[in-house]
Every structure is written in structure tokens, then in C-alpha cells.
Amino acid sequence: VIVGPLTFLWLGKEKGETFNRFDLLNSLIPVYKEILNALVAEGVQWIQIDEPALALDLPKEWIEAYKSVYSELAGVGAKVLLATYFGSVAEHADLLKSLPVDGLHIDLVRAPEQLNAFEDYSKVLSAGVIDGRNIWRANLNNVLEIIEPLKLKFGERLWIATSCSLLHTPYDLSVELQLQEKNPKLYSWLAFTLQKIEELSLLKQALNNGRASVQAQLDASQAAADARASSLEIHRPEVAQRLNSLPKDASKRKSPFTERIAKQNAWLNLPLLPTTTIGSFPQTTEIRHARASFKKGELSLADYETAMKKEIEFVVRRQEELDIDVLVHGEAERNDMVEYFGELLQGFAFTKFGWVQSYGSRCVKPPVIYGDVIRPEPMTVRWSQYAQSLTERVMKGMLTGPVTILQWSFVRNDIPRATVCKQIAVALSDEVLDLEKAGIKVIQIDEPAIREGLPLKRKDWDAYLQWAGEAFRLSYMGCQDDTQIHTHMCYSEFNDILPAIAGLDADVITIETSRSDMELLTAFSDFKYPNDIGPGVYDIHSARVPEASEIEHLLRKALKVIPAERLWVNPDCGLKTRAWPETIAALKVMVDVTKKLRQELA
């Protein structure tokens, strides 16, 4: 299995305005021929070439190149299966049917409707019918309804497969003994990589020998699907009732930003260019050790909370010494920005070994959203309240936003993702109001993953941005005008979704910009972004302490496009992965430079 040449080039990044990666195509083809020939020399009979870029809105010249590229790669001595996934390629059906390859794989989980376009395909059709991107057990009877007619039509030319690579699912459900014991029903609804391969094997037997040959397994699959559809653990009437009874304007603030910011500034009384951080402070060995000991039962709840309060006090005192304006409690008690909330919300479950690759060598263990989401009790209030009790300065509450919680989880597939997101948002709104009641009137709702959720095709963007934006606004519904809502976004290119970002209507947005030399700010300025903004003034991904001149350069650049009264000063991102010495040193430089510029602007 290799990535196809056009997808490989499409995923490359261009540097320099005159350079076009498409120009490299002709010099790339001989390299691919070499790779294919080397595989043939090893005795390989079928080579799968992945071209998922076909599911995107590719420029015309890229689409047209498929014909010439695959004509050149034809005749290597092995059969070629061209694989597409993650979306529909129906619009390219005529092109794909004409390519000199021996077979085609299509994703019938993400885009079942595209099957019609390929029913007259004359070569091998690999039907991706088992979901390679999620962890739910398939209803095998439903899958057979799709593939039995295909077997009659294609005969031996029909292959059955997962929708995409199984890179996206954990390896083996059978090792999740804790989950099986704690939630046997949920366990019976899941399928990880090995179980998905077993599902394919059962489907093959049913196709070749008839359903009766695997009747017991089909009955078990149907029973699991039926139990899941009717389970009251999943479908909570009070959740549906609450969503249905939301007023039409629930996701709208009481007053426009200009009125809100005046009320906020009146009580906040912050200096020009207020300084803050993004939320987390270093997760030291001591913090991790205390959490691990608590989870193992070696540390009592009282002792664990004492340890966390000690860390919170340490963070508060360091920020006061640095003279930061809006403080945070440092998130010592949080293991992960999504997992922490998932553990406190009903409708979520966790695996012990459900690791999947994020990128490179980085792996993540996403929570499982299996049922309707409810917040049984406050999740962050006592920690923020304790932190506020230690200082006269403003304390900022910290929450992870609904879209990011959704994007970084395995999400139930029995209701629309938009509905799941709305449920999370409504649960978070209860937390926001409780924070407000507890005197925490600056609340940050992080949404680093909002861009990740964008559909592959632009025609579908508006619908996604509409429900994602509504969910974000619902997460703070009902809060007072003088409560200041912040959001933070990182790793993102916003140029093409700025109207949607403005539509979130956060009072302050903090963004990662230092590595791009504030380039992103030009887009915010051209768009005339209306609310307050805090562009990151130094990169937290490195232990290097920035020079004062570097931060000053970035702030002066920011001041050219954002009015001083709407500009905040902060690092790029949370400081969780940094060590204390460089954290203190970098924040000191940031505050000192800010004070210098304040004097100039006074």
C-alpha cells in the first residue's frame, strides 16, 4: 500500500509564491515507477495506491493529470487497486472508470450514495462497508443488504473491505477488561481493528455460503444493534426535551459586543494591552505522580486535593509576582483538556488501551461518546473558586469547547454529530452559569479543533460552520453582558472561515500567531474583526526563551492592524508541556515588553 503521487504532492506545503508543487509531478513519476518495480521484484501481485485527494475539490489541472499519471504507471507487472476514502468520488466516476488500473476502492460508509455511480464498473470493485474511522460494531444484516446485490452483479470482481485504513481505530477490544466489567452493554456495541477484520470474515462467509452459515453471529450482531437502538442509558428523554425546548434566540448574547465590552471594562478595570496566559501551566513530575497515585488508590481524595490546591496556589503566586493582569488556576488537576471533562459528563466512557495515532509518533486515547450527554454536577467551579480566593486579581475560568470535545472523541453514529455537539454545548452552559454565580466572570472556552471539523468539500462547509458556531454560542447561553467570554484557537489558518470565527461572538479571541510572524492578523484586520484579540507573542512549543526584541517586533506589528484598546498580550498556547524556569523567564519578558509599550501609548 502506497500513497499515490497526486495525493502525495497535494499534501505537500509550498514555500515561496513562485513555486507550484504541481510542477514536480513529472519528476515524481519515475520515482514511483522505481518503487512499483521494486515491489514487483519482491513478488507483489497487487499494489494498492491510495488517492484520497480525489474526495477533495481539486483544481481541474490536478484532476486531468490522473489520466496521464496512471497511464504512465500502467504495465508495471502487478495489478493496481486505486483506493479512495473519506468522501464521495462520484463526480469523477467517468474518469475513474477510464483509468488503466485493475480495481477501485470506494468508501461506502462515509458516502454510501456514491455506489450508484459505480454499479457498471467493469473491473474489481472494493466496497468499503465496515467503518475504519469509528469504533462501533456493524449491523451485519444491514451491510449484507448492500453487498448481496453487488455479489450478484460483480461476482468474483467484488471485494469487501473496511472503508479506509484501520489506523484510526484501536487494536483489540478484547483487552478492555475494565470496560467489559464496568459497562458490558457498551462493550457489546464496540468493534476495534481485530473485531472489524472478524466482521469482514463473517460477511465473506455469508456471501459465499449463505446467511444460514453464520446465522448465530448475524443474530448476535442484530441483537447488539437492537439493544443499542432502544437503550435508555443512551437515549435520555430529558436531554431531547431540553434541546427541543431551547428558545430560538438561545445562542444569541443579550446585547451586541460594543455594549457588552463597555460593561466588562467598567468592572475589569484592566490596563491597556492586558496580559494573560492561555490556561495551563507546567504539569510537573510531582503533579503527574500525585494523579497516578490517586488513580491507583494509593493517595486519598483529601490528600490529592490538598496536593492540587498547593499547585494552584503556586501558580497564582507566580503570576502575581510576574504582574500578569488576568490570571488562570493552571489546570493542575486536569490530565487532558478533553478527557477531564469526559470523565465528569454522563454519556462518555473511556478505554484503557484504545490508543490511535494522531501524527508521527504522537498517539491519543480518545473518549467514547456513547449516549446522551448530561452534566450531573459542577466540574471546574471549586478549583476556579479556590484560585480566586487566593488573589484580588481577575481569575479566568477554563473550559474546553463543545466542538473540540466532539472532534477529539469517538462519537456515537446513531444520531447526527451536530446533535451530539449541541448536547455537549448545553451541558457546558450549565457550567458557565455556575462559574458566573461563583464570581468567575471571565471564562475561556477553548476551541482549537473547530477547523478540523470542516468537511472535505467546500459546498458542505456552511452547514458545518452553522451548527458548530451555534454549539459554541449555546455553551455560554444565558450568561450576563458583563461576563467576558474568551476563546482560544491554535494551529489554524482562519482566512477562509473568518466570518464564522467572528460569528462565534466571543468577547476575546486568542490565537497562535508567533511562528507565522503575525501573518494571520492581516486577515483579521482586512476582515475588520470586530471583537478583542490576543495574538500569541511567543512560541510555547520550544524551551527557548524569547528575546525582548522579538516580542516587541510582534506586538508593534500587531498594533499596526489592531487598535491598542482591543489588543491583548499572551503566549501562543497553554504552558502545560514547558518547564518552570523557561516559563517564568518567557512570561517576564512578555510582561516587561508590554509595560514598555504601554508607556509609549499612554
**Selected catalytic residue, list 289, 329, 541, 553:** 541
Compute the distance between CA of residue 280 and CA of residue 224 in angstroms, rounded to an integer.
41
Q: What is the DSSP letter of 91?
A: G
Q: Which distant-in-sequence residues (6+ apart) come within 8 Å of 408 by Cβ?
A: 338, 364, 366, 367, 449
Q: ∠ CA 150-151-152 to the nearest 5 degrees?
A: 90
Compute the distance between CA of residue 65 and CA of residue 13 in angstroms, rounded to an integer.
19
- Radius of gyration of the chain measured on its C-alpha atoms: 27
Compute the distance between CA of residue 391 and CA of residue 313 in angstroms, rounded to an integer.
9
In the sheet with 2-3, reading across from the earlier edge strand, the strands are 2-3, 46-50, 79-83, 103-107, 124-130, 158-162
Cβ-in-10-Å burial (0-12, 13-18, 19+) of 515 comes to: middle
Cβ-in-10-Å burial (0-12, 13-18, 19+) of 4 comes to: buried
Range list of H helices, 120-236 = 140-154, 177-182, 184-188, 193-209, 215-230
Question: CA dist 350 to 288, 341, 365, 419, Å?
Answer: 19, 12, 8, 21
What b/e string do you get for 409-443 counting C-beta neighbours within 10 Å, with b at 16 or more? bbbbeeeebbbbbbbbbbbbbbbbbbbbebebbbb
Residues in the chain, total:
602
Residue with cell 451586541: 256
Q: Is 541 a catalytic residue?
A: yes
C-alpha cell at 318: 507566580
Residues annotated as catalytic (active site), given as ranges: 541
